[in-house]
Amino acid sequence: MSDKPLKIGLVGAGHRGILYIRYAAKQPDKVKIWAIAEPNEFRRNQVVKEFGIPSENVFHDAEEMAKSDIELDAVVNGTMDQLHVATTLPLLERGWDVLLEKPICTNEEDLHLLYKAAKKNNCRVMVCHVLRYAPFYVAVKKLLLEGEIGDIVSIRTEEKVSYHHMATAYIRGRWRNKDLCGSPILMAKCSHDLDLITWFMSGIAPVRVASFGSLGYFKPENAPEGSGTRCLVDCRIERECPYSAYNNYIEKGLWRAYAWESIEHYGESLTEEMKIESLKKDNPFGRCVWHCDNNVVDRQTVIIEFENGVVATHTLSTPASKPCRTVQIIGTKGEIEGNINDSVLVVRKPDLKQEYTEQVIDLNVSMDGHGGGDIGLTEDFVRVISGEQPSISSTALEDSMYGHLIGFRADTAMEEKRVTDIPKL
């Protein structure tokens, strides 16, 4: 292993990709951000300026970067879902290891294509399933590995997506329409949860899946009386509506990276008046949530059977007032239950003197950066490409595929109203 810092490139300068390289850059003795490939000139220049990237290492796209004579140790791919495979393949052909944003891809065929390319070129691909690295879920995994609750019998997880997150990302935003982004909400939002379930199962294969869900609420026929097509143009109830673009994006300051994307090129000169004007005109985040071109479901449940008989369920619930992720794992000797947003786990066991004993584990971790998962993932990626041993949370491509197969087959099951088999890898 060289004593020189690893040279890392970034493909796709969205806020997730930039977040990962910022964490990596906090280890200057180990990492140097050395190249950028991004078609958006404003974002490309921002990255060049922040990380001092040489002009000869600035590219328009992944293919241009891969065809150059630049030498890199690894690349962070933070492009959009439907671009993941097309932008990763040329990187693998160059022999570069890749940290790939989730979901891996948008269909089963591309999943196998990417896996074969990584094997052929002897490259490591790690997937940004950051929740595996959150101390909350690491604690769950360690309890399972230690046999604290015996053999797993069943797993139940739930994700409650807040009303403002649902409105921003999955109704007004880039993941609102499967035909545009390539991913259904199950893969765009819950691939983390499906990955956690397969991680808890330690390589035991899922064999069958069923799923139920629908787009039931955010449709034109459910628009309240007095609503319009744009919050600040023709809506008479905007001041009373929890989905008000003005309230969420200006008064509360939520989801700024998304809401002001169309006018981000104004940089520091961007004013509140300019934001209001954009919401009135062509900014997609100024639209009424009941009058958008969204087609992803707003509720869904997935039921999974594993080859050893364990059953698992995951439920996506929207629009929640308070967002959270919960987990309950029942075993032959006890159970684990918790809520990552509260950072508390409870371990219960049967007891001869009383009904059960209860141990409360307060992890005292904030929810910043996916509960600490973002920085944990980045640090592990640096260790792996440095030739060190990965952590127990390792998100290697081959270890992340079953969660995706569950997601792809679950949507087929939901759409075709049948149970579907999951192929063995």
Q: Exposed e or buried b for every residue in 203-234, given b needs 16+ CB within 10 A?
A: eeebebbbbebeeeebeeeebeeebbebbbee
Query: What pLDDT was estimated at residue 27?
Result: 86
Residue 250 and residue 168: Cα distance in Å, rounded? 13
Helix (H, G, I), strand (E, B) or coil at 211: strand
What is 132-214+294-369+397-421's CATH number? 3.30.360.10
Query: What pLDDT was estimated at residue 366?
Result: 65
Helices (H), 31-128: 41-51, 62-67, 84-93, 108-120
The phi, psi pair for 422, rounded to 5°, reads -110, 125
Query: What pLDDT was estimated at residue 2?
Result: 59
Sequence-separated (6 or more) residues with CB below 8 Å from residue 229? 235, 287, 288, 291
Q: Does a cis peptide bond (omega within 30 degrees of 0) precede residue 319? A: yes
* pTM tops 0.85, yes or no: yes
Which of 3.30.565.10, 3.90.650.10, 3.40.50.620, 3.40.50.720 is the CATH number of 6-123? Answer: 3.40.50.720
Residues pairing with 330 in the sheet: 154, 335
Query: What pLDDT was estimated at residue 4?
Result: 87
Distance of CA 85 to the CA centre of its chain: 16
pLDDT tens track, the chain, 425 positions: 457 899 999 999 998 999 999 988 888 899 999 999 999 999 999 999 999 999 999 999 999 999 999 999 999 999 999 999 999 999 999 999 999 999 999 999 999 999 999 999 999 999 999 999 999 999 999 999 999 999 999 999 999 999 999 999 999 999 999 999 999 999 999 999 999 999 999 989 999 999 999 999 999 999 999 999 999 999 999 999 999 999 999 999 999 999 999 999 998 899 999 999 999 999 999 999 999 999 999 999 999 999 999 999 999 999 999 999 999 999 999 999 999 988 999 999 999 999 999 999 998 776 565 667 888 999 999 999 999 999 999 999 999 999 999 999 999 999 999 999 999 98
Query: What pLDDT was estimated at residue 370?
Result: 60
Query: What pLDDT was estimated at residue 229?
Result: 97
Per domain, the residue ranges of the chain are 6-123, 132-214+294-369+397-421, 220-286
Query: What pLDDT was estimated at residue 15?
Result: 86
Query: What pLDDT was estimated at residue 372?
Result: 75
- The owner of tokens 């140790």 is 73
